[in-house]
Amino acid sequence: MLKESFLEYLELEKNYSDKTVVGYELDLREFEEYLKGVSEDLDLLAVDADLIRGWVVSLMDRGFASTSVNRKLSSLRSFYRYLLKRGYVTADPVAKVQGPKVKKPLPVFVKEADMDRLLDQTDFGSGFEGVRDRLIIEMFYLTGMRRSELVNLRDGDVDFSACVIKVTGKRNKQRLIPFAEQLKEDLLLYLSLRNEICAGVCEAFFVRKDGRMLTPTAVYLLVKRNLAKVVTLKKKSPHVLRHSFATSMLNHDAEIEAVKELLGHENLMATEIYTHTTFEELKKVYEQAHPRA
């Protein structure tokens, strides 16, 4: 009866979809079955935190992923909060139970050899769009900037005398990114072609043939299309190139604090994930190269 009234509450008062309500019902039924396996005398009102922890452990032992276990635990948490509000229980047994930590996936990146093939051996075409598309990929890979930062770049943000680019990141935080002589030459080539086809002042640094600002979607599609020429990764996005920038920097002994500043991360923890990426790559090299690995 308690379970039925809770599910009715979800459907009628919370306006949850039928599919969501069914998910809650299955999770609660599974927990009830676990309780019966522990003792036939147990019911939903006689549950304590230790029983719930035991259920979590049993789910992990059966091979459920951390995300699935946390979702089931969330169903149980909502159920006991409901019972507590209605006065069926005097304490929430789930309150002090923590679910398993969800392991964050490592960032996807393009190997240096593949980036070299794309930038040095792939024909983008000599016209405006070909030069622009190659330069956009080069910008992501050589500066680590975000897609929104590139799209919103203006002519005044690029200082050719000092070889630095000013980008505006999250929460309007600005930072300076240095660039090398080769990128400077490519930037100037692009500008000369852009200024030939654009009459007057362009509204952004990177534009379409008609002078209008590139959309984030257009940038994503051109990166995806060109990365597909050299890699078979499932993810082929500007953010993958940002990951590739960070990974390449750390692979070549860059200080992690410097990489943090270049990426515009608020704290070092966000940057440290790339050290795991480089170590995973090292493991692959070791396993492939060592005869007894």
Residue with tokens 């100037």: 188
For residue 234, give the DSSP letter.
S
Residue with tokens 């006991």: 80
Of 21, 98, 19, nearest in space to 60 by CA? 98
As a whole number of angstroms, the distance between CA 11 and CA 197 comes to: 59
- Provide the H-helix boundaries in the chain: 2-12, 18-38, 49-61, 66-86, 112-121, 128-143, 147-151, 181-197, 216-227, 238-251, 256-263, 268-289
The token pair that represents 72 in the structure block = 């089931």
**Sheet bearing 174-178, strands edge to edge:** 158-159, 164-168, 174-178
Query: Helix crossing, 238-251 with 128-143: angle to 10°?
Result: 50
As a whole number of angstroms, the distance between CA 34 and CA 61 comes to: 13
As a whole number of angstroms, the distance between CA 119 and CA 137 comes to: 8
Catalytic residues: 146, 170, 239, 242, 265, 274
Cα dihedral 183, 185, 187, 189 sign: negative
